[in-house]
């Protein structure tokens, strides 16, 4: 059986999109996150389900630029163990 997230990139201090409730509804803000993360590219239903189990804006983020999903290094290691 292959390891999940075979396609991934290490990313340090990524720029991500954060959603906040503002006076005019939801606001989307680009914000830098400090630390080590992984940009993953889910390729099957199991990987998509695993991503959805992570806390939004806690362990998974939308990248400000590019494709994929930004997840914490800790979450990535948990999936791979």
Cβ atoms of residues 14 and 70 within 8 Å: yes
Closest CA to 76 of 48, 38, 49: 38
> Would you mind telling me the total number of residues written for the chain in this entry?
81
Q: How many domains does the chain have?
A: 1
Mean pLDDT of all residues in 73-79: 93
Q: 2 in a domain, yes or no?
A: no
Q: Is residue 31 part of a domain?
A: yes
Q: What is the pLDDT of residue 64?
A: 96
Residue range 24-48, pLDDT digits in tens? 888 999 999 999 999 999 999 999 9
Pairing of strands 25-32, 69-72: unpaired
In a domain, 1, yes or no: no
Domain around 49: 8-80
């Amino acid at each position: 059986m292959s390891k999940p997230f075979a396609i991934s990139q290490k990313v340090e201090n990524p720029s991500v999109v954060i959603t906040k409730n503002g006076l005019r509804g939801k606001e989307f803000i680009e914000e830098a996150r400090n630390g080590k993360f992984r940009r993953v590219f889910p390729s099957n239903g199991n990987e998509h389900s695993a991503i959805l189990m992570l806390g939004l804006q806690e362990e998974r983020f939308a990248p400000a630029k590019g494709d994929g999903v930004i997840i914490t290094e800790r979450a990535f290691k948990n999936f791979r163990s």
